[in-house]
Amino acid sequence: MTDWTSGYVSDIGYTFGYYTELNPLRVKLAFLNAGLVCPEFGTACELGFGQGVSTALHAAASVVQWHGTDFNPSQAAYAQELATASGTGAGLYDEAFNEFAQRADLPQFDYIGLHGIWSWISDENRAVIVNFIRKKLKVGGVVYISYNTLPGWGAFAPMRHLMTQHAEVLGTEGRGIVSRIDGAVDFAEKLLATNPLFLRANPLVADRIKTLKDQNRHYLAHEYFNRDWHPMHFSTMVQWLEGAKLQYACSAHYLDHVDAINLSAEQQAFLKEIPDVMFRESVRDFMVNQQFRRDYWIKGVRKMPALAQAEALRQVRVLLTAHRPDVSLKVTGALGQADMSEAIYAPLLDALADHKVKTLGQLEQAVAGHGIAFSQIIQAILILAGAGHVSLVQDEVVMTKARKHCDKINAHLLNNARGSGEVNYLASPVTGGGVVVGRFQQLFILAMQQGKKQSTEWAQFTWNVLASQGQKLVKEGKTLETAEECLAELTVQAQTFAEKQIPILKALQII
Protein backbone atom coordinates (compact mmCIF):
# COMPACT_ATOMS: atom_id res chain seq x y z
CA MET A 1 0.00 0.00 0.00
CA THR A 2 1.35 3.46 -0.92
CA ASP A 3 1.90 5.85 2.00
CA TRP A 4 0.27 8.99 0.57
CA THR A 5 1.26 10.97 3.68
CA SER A 6 5.04 10.62 3.07
CA GLY A 7 5.51 10.57 6.82
CA TYR A 8 3.58 13.81 7.37
CA VAL A 9 1.00 13.92 10.18
CA SER A 10 -2.42 13.33 8.62
CA ASP A 11 -4.66 12.00 11.40
CA ILE A 12 -5.13 15.46 12.89
CA GLY A 13 -5.89 18.65 10.93
CA TYR A 14 -3.60 21.66 10.77
CA THR A 15 -4.63 24.81 12.60
CA PHE A 16 -6.87 27.38 10.89
CA GLY A 17 -4.17 30.02 10.95
CA TYR A 18 -3.61 33.02 8.72
CA TYR A 19 -0.05 34.09 7.83
CA THR A 20 0.22 37.70 6.76
CA GLU A 21 3.73 37.32 5.33
CA LEU A 22 2.19 35.27 2.50
CA ASN A 23 0.34 38.40 1.33
CA PRO A 24 2.09 39.59 -1.87
CA LEU A 25 1.20 43.20 -1.02
CA ARG A 26 3.75 43.10 1.81
CA VAL A 27 6.62 42.41 -0.58
CA LYS A 28 6.70 46.00 -1.83
CA LEU A 29 7.74 47.74 1.39
CA ALA A 30 10.39 45.11 2.18
CA PHE A 31 11.87 45.36 -1.31
CA LEU A 32 11.80 49.14 -1.43
CA ASN A 33 13.47 49.36 1.97
CA ALA A 34 16.20 47.06 0.64
CA GLY A 35 16.51 49.15 -2.54
CA LEU A 36 15.22 46.39 -4.83
CA VAL A 37 12.87 46.54 -7.80
CA CYS A 38 9.55 44.93 -6.86
CA PRO A 39 7.49 43.22 -9.58
CA GLU A 40 3.74 43.43 -10.01
CA PHE A 41 1.82 40.33 -8.99
CA GLY A 42 -0.92 38.85 -11.18
CA THR A 43 -0.55 35.12 -10.47
CA ALA A 44 0.42 33.39 -7.23
CA CYS A 45 0.74 29.90 -5.80
CA GLU A 46 0.93 28.48 -2.27
CA LEU A 47 2.53 25.08 -1.80
CA GLY A 48 1.29 23.22 1.28
CA PHE A 49 -1.53 25.63 2.18
CA GLY A 50 -2.82 23.69 5.23
CA GLN A 51 -6.48 24.58 5.76
CA GLY A 52 -6.17 27.17 2.99
CA VAL A 53 -7.24 30.17 5.08
CA SER A 54 -4.36 32.35 3.89
CA THR A 55 -4.76 31.38 0.24
CA ALA A 56 -8.53 31.88 0.25
CA LEU A 57 -8.37 35.26 1.99
CA HIS A 58 -5.60 36.53 -0.29
CA ALA A 59 -7.49 35.37 -3.37
CA ALA A 60 -10.68 37.08 -2.18
CA ALA A 61 -9.02 40.32 -1.08
CA SER A 62 -6.97 41.01 -4.21
CA VAL A 63 -7.07 40.63 -7.98
CA VAL A 64 -4.24 38.10 -7.93
CA GLN A 65 -5.12 34.72 -9.46
CA TRP A 66 -4.24 32.09 -6.84
CA HIS A 67 -3.44 28.39 -7.18
CA GLY A 68 -2.14 25.92 -4.65
CA THR A 69 -2.02 22.40 -3.28
CA ASP A 70 -2.04 20.52 -0.01
CA PHE A 71 -1.71 16.75 0.11
CA ASN A 72 -4.40 16.36 2.82
CA PRO A 73 -7.81 15.97 1.10
CA SER A 74 -9.85 17.13 4.10
CA GLN A 75 -7.81 20.32 4.29
CA ALA A 76 -8.03 20.86 0.55
CA ALA A 77 -11.79 20.36 0.74
CA TYR A 78 -12.08 23.14 3.33
CA ALA A 79 -9.88 25.44 1.23
CA GLN A 80 -12.08 24.74 -1.80
CA GLU A 81 -15.18 25.52 0.29
CA LEU A 82 -13.74 28.97 1.10
CA ALA A 83 -12.73 29.58 -2.52
CA THR A 84 -16.19 28.61 -3.74
CA ALA A 85 -17.84 30.86 -1.17
CA SER A 86 -15.79 33.85 -2.32
CA GLY A 87 -16.35 33.17 -6.02
CA THR A 88 -12.70 33.79 -6.90
CA GLY A 89 -12.16 30.61 -8.86
CA ALA A 90 -8.88 29.92 -7.08
CA GLY A 91 -7.43 26.59 -8.22
CA LEU A 92 -6.84 24.64 -5.01
CA TYR A 93 -6.01 20.93 -5.09
CA ASP A 94 -5.23 17.94 -2.85
CA GLU A 95 -2.23 16.75 -4.84
CA ALA A 96 1.25 15.83 -3.71
CA PHE A 97 3.94 18.25 -4.88
CA ASN A 98 5.21 15.97 -7.68
CA GLU A 99 1.65 15.42 -8.95
CA PHE A 100 0.79 19.14 -8.76
CA ALA A 101 4.02 20.06 -10.56
CA GLN A 102 2.95 17.97 -13.56
CA ARG A 103 -0.37 19.78 -14.07
CA ALA A 104 -0.66 21.24 -17.56
CA ASP A 105 -3.22 23.91 -16.60
CA LEU A 106 -1.04 26.00 -14.29
CA PRO A 107 0.09 29.47 -15.39
CA GLN A 108 3.55 30.93 -14.92
CA PHE A 109 3.68 32.54 -11.49
CA ASP A 110 4.78 35.97 -10.29
CA TYR A 111 4.80 34.77 -6.69
CA ILE A 112 5.15 31.41 -4.94
CA GLY A 113 4.77 31.02 -1.18
CA LEU A 114 5.63 28.25 1.29
CA HIS A 115 4.92 28.70 4.99
CA GLY A 116 6.86 26.28 7.19
CA ILE A 117 6.36 23.27 4.93
CA TRP A 118 10.01 23.25 3.80
CA SER A 119 11.13 22.09 7.26
CA TRP A 120 8.73 19.12 7.36
CA ILE A 121 9.32 17.38 4.05
CA SER A 122 11.91 15.01 2.60
CA ASP A 123 14.84 15.99 0.40
CA GLU A 124 12.99 14.27 -2.45
CA ASN A 125 10.05 16.65 -2.05
CA ARG A 126 12.39 19.62 -1.69
CA ALA A 127 13.93 18.72 -5.03
CA VAL A 128 10.43 18.60 -6.58
CA ILE A 129 9.67 22.07 -5.20
CA VAL A 130 12.95 23.54 -6.45
CA ASN A 131 12.29 22.10 -9.91
CA PHE A 132 8.72 23.46 -9.83
CA ILE A 133 10.00 26.94 -8.95
CA ARG A 134 12.65 26.75 -11.69
CA LYS A 135 10.02 25.90 -14.31
CA LYS A 136 6.98 27.88 -13.12
CA LEU A 137 8.34 31.12 -11.60
CA LYS A 138 8.59 34.02 -14.02
CA VAL A 139 11.79 35.96 -14.46
CA GLY A 140 11.66 38.65 -11.77
CA GLY A 141 9.22 36.53 -9.75
CA VAL A 142 9.35 36.31 -5.96
CA VAL A 143 9.34 33.29 -3.65
CA TYR A 144 8.44 33.51 0.05
CA ILE A 145 9.77 30.70 2.23
CA SER A 146 9.62 30.38 6.00
CA TYR A 147 11.51 27.58 7.69
CA ASN A 148 13.01 26.37 10.96
CA THR A 149 16.58 27.58 11.17
CA LEU A 150 19.91 26.64 12.67
CA PRO A 151 21.60 27.56 14.95
CA GLY A 152 18.43 28.49 16.87
CA TRP A 153 17.01 24.94 16.85
CA GLY A 154 20.36 23.28 17.56
CA ALA A 155 19.87 22.84 21.32
CA PHE A 156 16.31 21.51 21.14
CA ALA A 157 16.68 19.21 18.11
CA PRO A 158 17.92 16.20 20.15
CA MET A 159 14.98 16.54 22.57
CA ARG A 160 12.52 16.75 19.69
CA HIS A 161 14.04 13.56 18.26
CA LEU A 162 13.66 11.78 21.61
CA MET A 163 10.02 12.91 21.92
CA THR A 164 9.10 11.61 18.46
CA GLN A 165 10.88 8.36 19.30
CA HIS A 166 8.76 8.08 22.46
CA ALA A 167 5.58 8.70 20.44
CA GLU A 168 6.56 5.95 17.99
CA VAL A 169 7.93 3.36 20.44
CA LEU A 170 5.88 3.84 23.60
CA GLY A 171 2.82 5.71 22.34
CA THR A 172 -0.38 3.76 21.80
CA GLU A 173 -1.31 3.97 18.11
CA GLY A 174 -5.01 3.43 18.70
CA ARG A 175 -5.27 6.37 21.07
CA GLY A 176 -4.34 8.88 18.39
CA ILE A 177 -1.65 11.49 17.89
CA VAL A 178 -2.87 13.84 20.64
CA SER A 179 -2.48 11.14 23.29
CA ARG A 180 1.00 10.29 21.97
CA ILE A 181 1.99 13.96 22.06
CA ASP A 182 0.77 14.31 25.65
CA GLY A 183 2.71 11.19 26.61
CA ALA A 184 5.88 12.41 24.90
CA VAL A 185 5.73 15.85 26.56
CA ASP A 186 5.09 14.26 29.95
CA PHE A 187 8.01 11.88 29.42
CA ALA A 188 10.33 14.76 28.46
CA GLU A 189 9.33 16.69 31.57
CA LYS A 190 10.05 13.68 33.80
CA LEU A 191 13.38 13.12 32.07
CA LEU A 192 14.48 16.71 32.68
CA ALA A 193 13.43 16.41 36.33
CA THR A 194 16.30 13.91 36.74
CA ASN A 195 18.71 16.78 35.91
CA PRO A 196 20.59 15.07 33.04
CA LEU A 197 23.88 16.50 31.83
CA PHE A 198 22.12 17.37 28.54
CA LEU A 199 19.92 19.83 30.43
CA ARG A 200 22.88 21.34 32.25
CA ALA A 201 24.58 21.91 28.89
CA ASN A 202 21.32 23.23 27.33
CA PRO A 203 19.36 24.93 30.15
CA LEU A 204 16.84 26.64 27.83
CA VAL A 205 15.40 23.26 26.82
CA ALA A 206 13.38 23.16 30.05
CA ASP A 207 11.66 26.44 29.15
CA ARG A 208 10.79 25.09 25.70
CA ILE A 209 9.17 21.98 27.22
CA LYS A 210 7.11 24.16 29.57
CA THR A 211 5.94 26.18 26.56
CA LEU A 212 4.96 23.03 24.68
CA LYS A 213 2.62 21.93 27.47
CA ASP A 214 0.33 24.90 26.84
CA GLN A 215 0.37 24.90 23.03
CA ASN A 216 -2.37 23.71 20.69
CA ARG A 217 -1.94 19.96 20.06
CA HIS A 218 -2.89 20.36 16.40
CA TYR A 219 0.01 22.81 16.06
CA LEU A 220 2.43 20.54 17.95
CA ALA A 221 1.53 17.53 15.83
CA HIS A 222 2.52 19.31 12.63
CA GLU A 223 5.41 21.31 14.08
CA TYR A 224 7.27 18.54 15.89
CA PHE A 225 5.93 15.05 15.14
CA ASN A 226 6.30 14.58 11.39
CA ARG A 227 8.74 11.94 10.21
CA ASP A 228 10.78 14.61 8.44
CA TRP A 229 11.89 17.58 10.51
CA HIS A 230 14.93 19.43 9.28
CA PRO A 231 15.97 22.86 10.61
CA MET A 232 18.39 24.30 8.09
CA HIS A 233 21.29 26.73 7.99
CA PHE A 234 20.72 29.75 5.76
CA SER A 235 23.75 28.76 3.66
CA THR A 236 22.18 25.34 3.01
CA MET A 237 18.99 27.04 1.83
CA VAL A 238 21.07 29.17 -0.55
CA GLN A 239 22.54 25.98 -2.04
CA TRP A 240 19.09 24.40 -2.44
CA LEU A 241 17.57 27.41 -4.20
CA GLU A 242 20.46 28.06 -6.55
CA GLY A 243 19.02 25.27 -8.69
CA ALA A 244 15.91 27.40 -9.24
CA LYS A 245 18.03 30.46 -10.15
CA LEU A 246 16.88 32.22 -6.99
CA GLN A 247 18.82 34.88 -5.13
CA TYR A 248 18.18 36.04 -1.60
CA ALA A 249 16.36 39.39 -1.59
CA CYS A 250 15.55 40.31 2.02
CA SER A 251 13.63 39.26 5.11
CA ALA A 252 9.83 39.16 4.90
CA HIS A 253 9.66 39.91 8.63
CA TYR A 254 9.64 43.69 8.82
CA LEU A 255 11.21 43.84 12.29
CA ASP A 256 14.30 42.07 10.90
CA HIS A 257 14.95 45.18 8.79
CA VAL A 258 15.59 47.30 11.89
CA ASP A 259 19.05 46.53 13.25
CA ALA A 260 18.66 48.78 16.28
CA ILE A 261 16.19 46.38 17.97
CA ASN A 262 18.04 43.20 17.01
CA LEU A 263 21.76 43.88 17.12
CA SER A 264 24.08 45.71 19.48
CA ALA A 265 26.28 48.48 18.11
CA GLU A 266 29.26 46.13 18.36
CA GLN A 267 27.42 43.42 16.40
CA GLN A 268 26.32 45.88 13.72
CA ALA A 269 29.91 47.05 13.29
CA PHE A 270 31.14 43.45 13.11
CA LEU A 271 28.63 42.57 10.38
CA LYS A 272 29.54 45.62 8.31
CA GLU A 273 33.08 44.27 8.03
CA ILE A 274 31.80 41.15 6.21
CA PRO A 275 31.70 41.86 2.46
CA ASP A 276 29.78 38.75 1.37
CA VAL A 277 26.02 39.26 1.77
CA MET A 278 25.19 35.56 2.10
CA PHE A 279 27.86 34.89 4.70
CA ARG A 280 26.76 38.01 6.57
CA GLU A 281 23.25 36.55 6.88
CA SER A 282 24.70 33.32 8.30
CA VAL A 283 26.71 35.23 10.88
CA ARG A 284 23.68 37.35 11.78
CA ASP A 285 21.71 34.16 12.50
CA PHE A 286 24.28 33.28 15.15
CA MET A 287 24.03 36.74 16.69
CA VAL A 288 20.25 36.52 17.12
CA ASN A 289 20.16 32.72 17.60
CA GLN A 290 17.72 32.54 14.69
CA GLN A 291 15.07 29.81 15.01
CA PHE A 292 12.68 30.71 12.21
CA ARG A 293 13.46 32.62 9.03
CA ARG A 294 10.87 34.31 6.82
CA ASP A 295 12.59 35.28 3.59
CA TYR A 296 11.94 36.62 0.11
CA TRP A 297 13.90 35.21 -2.80
CA ILE A 298 13.80 36.46 -6.38
CA LYS A 299 14.64 35.20 -9.83
CA GLY A 300 16.84 38.08 -10.91
CA VAL A 301 17.73 40.73 -8.29
CA ARG A 302 17.66 44.31 -9.59
CA LYS A 303 18.80 47.29 -7.58
CA MET A 304 16.86 50.56 -7.71
CA PRO A 305 18.51 53.95 -8.19
CA ALA A 306 18.33 55.98 -4.96
CA LEU A 307 16.02 58.60 -6.47
CA ALA A 308 13.54 56.01 -7.76
CA GLN A 309 13.64 54.25 -4.40
CA ALA A 310 12.84 57.46 -2.49
CA GLU A 311 10.01 58.39 -4.85
CA ALA A 312 8.48 54.89 -4.69
CA LEU A 313 8.70 54.81 -0.89
CA ARG A 314 6.81 58.10 -0.65
CA GLN A 315 3.96 56.53 -2.66
CA VAL A 316 3.52 53.56 -0.29
CA ARG A 317 0.03 53.67 1.25
CA VAL A 318 -0.64 52.71 4.87
CA LEU A 319 -3.49 52.62 7.38
CA LEU A 320 -3.54 52.44 11.17
CA THR A 321 -5.33 49.18 12.06
CA ALA A 322 -5.13 49.52 15.85
CA HIS A 323 -6.92 51.78 18.33
CA ARG A 324 -4.57 54.75 18.68
CA PRO A 325 -4.56 54.91 22.53
CA ASP A 326 -3.84 51.17 22.73
CA VAL A 327 -0.68 51.25 20.60
CA SER A 328 2.22 50.47 22.89
CA LEU A 329 5.46 52.37 22.36
CA LYS A 330 7.40 49.19 23.07
CA VAL A 331 8.66 46.65 20.56
CA THR A 332 10.36 43.30 21.01
CA GLY A 333 13.37 42.35 18.90
CA ALA A 334 16.21 39.91 19.31
CA LEU A 335 17.76 42.20 21.97
CA GLY A 336 14.55 42.06 24.01
CA GLN A 337 11.99 44.80 24.62
CA ALA A 338 12.86 48.29 23.42
CA ASP A 339 11.18 51.67 23.88
CA MET A 340 10.13 53.56 20.77
CA SER A 341 10.86 57.28 20.73
CA GLU A 342 7.69 59.19 21.62
CA ALA A 343 9.05 62.24 19.78
CA ILE A 344 8.92 60.23 16.54
CA TYR A 345 6.06 57.80 17.04
CA ALA A 346 3.47 60.04 18.73
CA PRO A 347 3.23 62.52 15.82
CA LEU A 348 3.07 59.68 13.28
CA LEU A 349 0.39 57.81 15.21
CA ASP A 350 -1.59 61.01 15.70
CA ALA A 351 -1.46 61.62 11.95
CA LEU A 352 -2.81 58.10 11.35
CA ALA A 353 -5.35 58.10 14.19
CA ASP A 354 -8.32 58.89 11.90
CA HIS A 355 -7.82 55.49 10.20
CA LYS A 356 -7.65 57.11 6.78
CA VAL A 357 -5.28 55.90 4.08
CA LYS A 358 -2.11 57.99 3.77
CA THR A 359 1.04 57.73 1.71
CA LEU A 360 4.42 57.92 3.41
CA GLY A 361 4.90 61.19 1.54
CA GLN A 362 1.73 62.60 3.13
CA LEU A 363 2.93 61.44 6.55
CA GLU A 364 6.23 63.19 5.92
CA GLN A 365 4.34 66.44 5.31
CA ALA A 366 2.04 65.89 8.30
CA VAL A 367 4.96 65.62 10.75
CA ALA A 368 7.18 68.19 9.02
CA GLY A 369 7.21 70.46 12.07
CA HIS A 370 8.54 67.74 14.39
CA GLY A 371 12.02 67.36 12.93
CA ILE A 372 11.45 63.76 11.83
CA ALA A 373 13.61 62.60 8.92
CA PHE A 374 12.08 60.49 6.16
CA SER A 375 14.44 57.61 7.05
CA GLN A 376 12.97 57.67 10.57
CA ILE A 377 9.45 57.52 9.12
CA ILE A 378 10.36 54.43 7.10
CA GLN A 379 11.86 52.72 10.15
CA ALA A 380 8.83 53.62 12.26
CA ILE A 381 6.42 52.20 9.66
CA LEU A 382 8.46 49.00 9.43
CA ILE A 383 8.23 48.61 13.20
CA LEU A 384 4.54 49.54 13.43
CA ALA A 385 3.65 47.23 10.52
CA GLY A 386 5.87 44.48 11.91
CA ALA A 387 4.09 44.77 15.25
CA GLY A 388 0.68 44.58 13.54
CA HIS A 389 -0.43 48.17 14.23
CA VAL A 390 -0.21 49.41 10.63
CA SER A 391 -1.13 47.70 7.35
CA LEU A 392 -0.14 48.37 3.77
CA VAL A 393 -2.99 49.44 1.48
CA GLN A 394 -3.89 48.47 -2.08
CA ASP A 395 -4.79 50.81 -4.94
CA GLU A 396 -8.37 52.06 -5.08
CA VAL A 397 -9.10 50.21 -8.32
CA VAL A 398 -7.98 46.90 -6.80
CA MET A 399 -10.05 47.57 -3.66
CA THR A 400 -13.19 48.09 -5.73
CA LYS A 401 -12.67 44.87 -7.68
CA ALA A 402 -11.91 42.80 -4.55
CA ARG A 403 -14.80 44.11 -2.46
CA LYS A 404 -17.48 41.72 -3.77
CA HIS A 405 -15.32 38.65 -3.18
CA CYS A 406 -14.45 39.84 0.33
CA ASP A 407 -18.13 40.38 1.12
CA LYS A 408 -18.94 36.85 -0.04
CA ILE A 409 -16.22 35.04 1.89
CA ASN A 410 -16.87 37.16 4.98
CA ALA A 411 -20.59 36.30 4.84
CA HIS A 412 -19.61 32.63 4.75
CA LEU A 413 -17.20 32.99 7.69
CA LEU A 414 -19.68 35.02 9.74
CA ASN A 415 -22.32 32.38 9.24
CA ASN A 416 -19.85 29.65 10.26
CA ALA A 417 -18.99 31.61 13.42
CA ARG A 418 -22.40 30.71 14.79
CA GLY A 419 -21.21 27.15 15.32
CA SER A 420 -17.42 27.37 15.37
CA GLY A 421 -14.58 29.59 16.50
CA GLU A 422 -11.96 28.01 14.25
CA VAL A 423 -11.37 30.92 11.83
CA ASN A 424 -10.68 34.20 13.62
CA TYR A 425 -10.09 36.26 10.47
CA LEU A 426 -12.06 38.16 7.85
CA ALA A 427 -10.97 39.46 4.44
CA SER A 428 -10.22 43.13 3.77
CA PRO A 429 -10.12 44.57 0.23
CA VAL A 430 -8.04 47.40 1.69
CA THR A 431 -5.10 45.31 2.92
CA GLY A 432 -5.38 42.52 0.36
CA GLY A 433 -5.54 39.88 3.07
CA GLY A 434 -6.88 38.74 6.41
CA VAL A 435 -7.64 40.76 9.54
CA VAL A 436 -7.98 39.30 13.03
CA VAL A 437 -11.65 39.29 14.08
CA GLY A 438 -12.52 36.91 16.91
CA ARG A 439 -15.60 34.72 17.05
CA PHE A 440 -17.60 36.97 19.39
CA GLN A 441 -16.75 40.00 17.27
CA GLN A 442 -17.87 38.12 14.16
CA LEU A 443 -21.17 37.38 15.88
CA PHE A 444 -21.51 41.07 16.81
CA ILE A 445 -21.12 41.91 13.10
CA LEU A 446 -23.73 39.28 12.24
CA ALA A 447 -26.10 40.92 14.72
CA MET A 448 -25.47 44.31 13.11
CA GLN A 449 -26.23 42.86 9.69
CA GLN A 450 -29.54 41.63 11.05
CA GLY A 451 -30.52 45.17 12.01
CA LYS A 452 -29.53 45.23 15.68
CA LYS A 453 -28.09 48.66 16.44
CA GLN A 454 -27.15 48.64 20.14
CA SER A 455 -24.20 46.87 21.74
CA THR A 456 -26.57 45.33 24.30
CA GLU A 457 -28.51 43.76 21.43
CA TRP A 458 -25.30 42.38 19.90
CA ALA A 459 -24.41 40.82 23.23
CA GLN A 460 -27.86 39.27 23.62
CA PHE A 461 -27.77 37.91 20.06
CA THR A 462 -24.35 36.35 20.68
CA TRP A 463 -25.41 34.84 23.99
CA ASN A 464 -28.50 33.32 22.36
CA VAL A 465 -26.23 31.63 19.77
CA LEU A 466 -23.87 30.29 22.43
CA ALA A 467 -26.54 29.22 24.91
CA SER A 468 -28.44 27.28 22.25
CA GLN A 469 -25.33 25.08 21.91
CA GLY A 470 -24.69 24.75 25.64
CA GLN A 471 -21.56 26.92 25.42
CA LYS A 472 -20.24 29.27 28.10
CA LEU A 473 -17.61 31.98 28.30
CA VAL A 474 -14.22 31.71 29.94
CA LYS A 475 -12.79 34.81 31.61
CA GLU A 476 -9.24 34.88 33.00
CA GLY A 477 -9.12 31.09 32.89
CA LYS A 478 -12.40 30.66 34.80
CA THR A 479 -15.65 29.42 33.25
CA LEU A 480 -18.56 31.80 33.80
CA GLU A 481 -21.34 29.51 35.05
CA THR A 482 -24.47 31.66 34.96
CA ALA A 483 -26.28 33.24 32.04
CA GLU A 484 -26.10 36.61 33.80
CA GLU A 485 -22.32 36.45 34.08
CA CYS A 486 -21.91 35.42 30.45
CA LEU A 487 -24.25 38.14 29.18
CA ALA A 488 -22.52 40.78 31.31
CA GLU A 489 -19.12 39.82 29.89
CA LEU A 490 -20.44 39.83 26.32
CA THR A 491 -21.96 43.26 26.90
CA VAL A 492 -18.59 44.64 28.00
CA GLN A 493 -16.93 43.10 24.95
CA ALA A 494 -19.64 44.49 22.65
CA GLN A 495 -19.16 47.99 24.06
CA THR A 496 -15.40 47.73 23.55
CA PHE A 497 -16.04 46.48 20.01
CA ALA A 498 -18.24 49.50 19.28
CA GLU A 499 -15.70 51.96 20.64
CA LYS A 500 -12.43 50.55 19.36
CA GLN A 501 -12.93 48.09 16.52
CA ILE A 502 -15.87 49.30 14.46
CA PRO A 503 -14.07 52.44 13.18
CA ILE A 504 -11.15 50.24 12.09
CA LEU A 505 -13.33 47.57 10.47
CA LYS A 506 -15.18 50.30 8.57
CA ALA A 507 -11.86 51.71 7.34
CA LEU A 508 -10.91 48.18 6.26
CA GLN A 509 -14.26 47.89 4.39
CA ILE A 510 -15.19 44.79 6.40
CA ILE A 511 -18.23 46.54 7.92
* Residue where one domain finishes, among candidates 239, 267, 298: 298
Band of pLDDT at residue 198, cut at 50, 70 and 90: confident
Residue 281 belongs to a domain: yes
Band of pLDDT at residue 176, cut at 50, 70 and 90: low
Residue 4 belongs to a domain: no
Say whether pLDDT at 188 is over 50.
yes
Residue 10 belongs to a domain: no
For 68-98, the pLDDT digits (tens) are: 999 889 999 999 999 999 999 999 999 999 9
Residue 312 belongs to a domain: no
Q: Which residues constitute the domain of residue 169?
A: 157-224
Same domain, 419 and 489: yes
Same domain, 101 and 177: no
pLDDT for position 416: 96
Residue 68 belongs to a domain: yes
Residue 303 belongs to a domain: no
Same domain, 143 and 28: yes
Region of residue 333 (left: phi > 0; alpha: psi -120 to 50; beta: else):
beta
Residue 13 belongs to a domain: no
pLDDT for position 7: 44
DSSP string, 187-213: HHHHHHHT--HHHHH-TTHHHHHHHHH
Same domain, 53 and 116: yes
Say whether pLDDT at 219 is over 90.
no
Same domain, 440 and 497: yes
| Residues in CB range of 250: below 8 A, 6 or more apart | 30, 31, 33, 34, 36, 257, 295, 296
* Residue where one domain finishes, among candidates 392, 408, 435: 392
Residue 193 belongs to a domain: yes
pLDDT for position 200: 87
* 91-93 and 109-115 strand pairing: unpaired
Same domain, 279 and 136: yes
Say whether pLDDT at 141 is over 70.
yes
pTM of the model: 0.88
Mean pLDDT rounded to a whole number for the chain:
91
Asked if 439 and 423 touch (Cβ cutoff 8 Å), the reply is no
Band of pLDDT at residue 4, cut at 50, 70 and 90: very low
Mean predicted confidence (pLDDT) in 415-440: 96
Say whether pLDDT at 273 is over 80.
yes
Radius of gyration of the CA atoms of the chain, in A? 24
Same domain, 130 and 251: yes
Same domain, 238 and 194: no
Same domain, 243 and 110: yes
Same domain, 108 and 25: yes
Same domain, 383 and 259: no
pLDDT for position 9: 47
Same domain, 101 and 208: no
pLDDT for position 503: 97
Region of residue 38 (left: phi > 0; alpha: psi -120 to 50; beta: else):
beta
State the total domains in the chain. Answer: 4
Band of pLDDT at residue 494, cut at 50, 70 and 90: very high
Q: Out of 115-124, 167-176, 403-412, 434-443, which region has the weakest mean confidence (pLDDT)?
A: 167-176
What's the residue count for the chain? 511
Asked if 472 and 372 touch (Cβ cutoff 8 Å), the reply is no
Give the 3-state secondary structure of residue 158: helix
For 390-410, the pLDDT digits (tens) are: 999 999 999 999 999 999 999
pLDDT for position 12: 47
